[in-house]
A and B are shown apart, each in its own frame.
Chain A
Amino acid sequence: MLAIDYLDKRLKKKDTVSNGDAVSTDIEISIRNLNVSFPDKDGGEPVNALQNINLDIKQGEFISLLGPSGCGKTTLLRTIADLQQPTSGEISVRGLSPREIRLQKKYGIVFQNPVLYDWRTVRRNVCMPMELMGIPKKDRTARVTKMLELVGLMEFGKKYPHELSGGMQQRVGIARALAIKPEILLMDEPFSALDEFTKEKLHEDLLRIWKKTNKTILFVTHNIQEAVFLSDRVVVLSPHPGRVSAVVDIELERPRSLEIKNTPEFNEMVVKVRKSFESVY
């Protein structure tokens, strides 16, 4: 089935699907007929990383891009972030181009690696993007404190990144991304390098932060459980060429805690997502 059919179905269903009161139905990111291809290194045919992607993301939505490696999920995120240029098609974010949104500093990005500046303390790492925005020092200090409180790193402000554990470093990355009050949080497999315990803790933290800040979150992952636990909707991508093969609504109640993973409803959703994969292969 074509991606566009899924989209049409979903759009028809739109009024009946409810994602809770906090989520409005305003479209924040709209992707139309997006194609991204990379030139082949040996001079052959260009490689299609993404083919004919159509997707609408609502304001305040938590959406996961799920798929095996090579399915273009990171490419999709990077294209939305203006780190990668589309070959054809259109992305509009609040009616503007990704580039305009980037220049307005409306994106917060969290990478797979924390990407911290090792010569700066935790506080000054979180502070860095605000320095570029010309926010006065007093306001910066107050905001850094608030952010560290949010991610639970109040006592570690004066430490250097290498003195922290991997999970803590990733929290600093999240705090830094949130510090500039972005409209959209783009997360590229942020927890995939962490151990299971740290990951689960950060999942809960992320949902708490999301609820508190009401950001639109785009979350790239290859972990089905992770996608189901966190998201309102899971966009299933399949590789060669990268395309949307299904969009699964996760009808689980919020707020969610780790216990939800033991419920049959959760497992049903996991199975549903997994099946939408199997139909591809």
Chain B
Amino acid sequence: MKRIKKFFQSNNLVTLVWGIGLIIVWEIGAFIIEGSKRSPENVLPHLYQIVASVFSDKLVSNNQTAIQIVMSNAGITLFRAGIGFVIGAAVGFLLALMMNLVKGVEKTIFPYLMIIQMIPILGMAPIVLAITKDINKSRIVIAAILTFYPVATNTLAGFKSVDPQKHELMYSIAASKFEIYRKLLIPSSIPYLFTGLKIAAPMAITASILVDTLQGGGGLGCMLSQSLRHAMSIYVFWQIVFVSAIIGILSYYLMSVIEKLVSPYKRAKIKG
């Protein structure tokens, strides 16, 4: 009884209701579209069909099964998004450090950096492509651009929200600027940095997939548009949609896991 009670009080119930609700809506849609019979292949397959397609051995193209295509392209996309994310995070962190270290940098640079964030990805992509002259490089660059801003703002907020008394404590024992950064500012900004990283990780992947759709060269987005145009298999399309969603969510959780690894005091909080 206790367990059941606990279950109903927890968030699990909400998640369950949401899950069931979405499945019902999906299946109603699938039945309606199936009934209309306007397209040769069922555009909106039933969920069980999509799941089955993941495990089917049927070759779709180039001697590859649907899931093999999806996974190899997911690897390509993740690789690009990952490199862009790491570069963007590093640039964002260093920028926050600069803005905090040198007075005036924040006022002169920061408001204009925000403008970059306002440009839609698809508007930015041709500009970046014109500069880098390589679609793969521009995919990485765009992932980096989308990453650096949330990382920079959050880290800067972290530097600024340090308890002034902690500063005074460092001052009272005559700590150097370098020591203050190393022992106080950087460690205390870590939770803020990770807030930025958690926002940025799914964004970098989304950006990477979106820019994939513009040209060839592999990647989830690229396959997504191909699967629609060449009617490769509707299941490839849907698998890509789900895999994209899943890796976006997983990228967020990956950041949470890394955060817990680098800040053990947070684990202590959960324990007791």
Contacts and interface: CB of A to CB of B under 8 A. Distances in A.
Contact of A132 (B166, B175, B188, B269): B175
The prevalent SS among residues of B at the interface is: helix
Given A102-B172, A103-B174, A119 B269 contact: no
Contacts of B168: 83, 109, 111
B163 A132 contact: no
Interface in B27-63: none
The prevalent SS among residues of A at the interface is: loop
Interface string B66-102: 0000000000000000000000000000000000000
Contacts of B175: 132
B227 to A, nearest CB: 47
A105 B174 contact: yes
Contacts of B173: 105, 107, 129, 132-133, 180
A127 B253 CA distance: 34
Given A113-B165, A119-B187, A83 B172 contact: yes
B159 to A, nearest CB: 15
B183 A83 contact: no
B265 A83 contact: no
B170 to A, nearest CB: 8
A162 B169 contact: no
A118 B267 CA distance: 12
Interface in B175-189: 175, 179, 183-184, 187-188
Contacts of A111: 165, 168-169
A230 interface: no
A159 B265 CA distance: 9
Contacts of B120: none
A115 B173 CA distance: 14
Contacts of A103: 174
A128 interface: yes
Nearest to A83: B168
A8 interface: no
A191 B97 CA distance: 36
A132 B183 contact: yes
B184 A81 contact: no
B268 interface: yes
Interface string A90-130: 00000000000011110101010101011111000000110
A132 B184 CA distance: 12
Nearest to B184: A117
Nearest to A114: B165
Contacts of A81: 172
B272 interface: yes
Contacts of B188: 117, 119
Contacts of A180: 173
A160 B263 CA distance: 11
A131 interface: yes
A265 interface: no
A115 B172 contact: no
A163 interface: yes
Nearest to B168: A83
Max chain A C-beta neighbours (<10 A), residue from B174, B183, B272:
B174
B193 to A, nearest CB: 13
Contacts of A104: 174
A121 B187 CA distance: 13
Contacts of B179: 132
Given A83-B171, A113-B165, A119-B187, 4 more contacts: A111-B169, A113-B163, A119-B188, A160-B269
18 contacts: A83-B168, A102-B171, A103-B174, A107-B173, A109-B172, A111-B169, A115-B166, A115-B169, A117-B166, A117-B183, A118-B265, A131-B183, A132-B170, A132-B174, A132-B175, A132-B179, A160-B269, A162-B265
Counting from the closest, the 9 A-B pairs by CB-CB distance are A160-B265, A115-B165, A160-B268, A103-B174, A129-B173, A109-B172, A119-B187, A119-B265, A132-B175
Interface of B: 163, 165-166, 168-175, 179, 183-184, 187-188, 190, 263, 265, 268-269, 272
Interface of A: 81-83, 102-105, 107, 109, 111, 113, 115, 117-121, 128-129, 131-133, 159-160, 162-163, 180
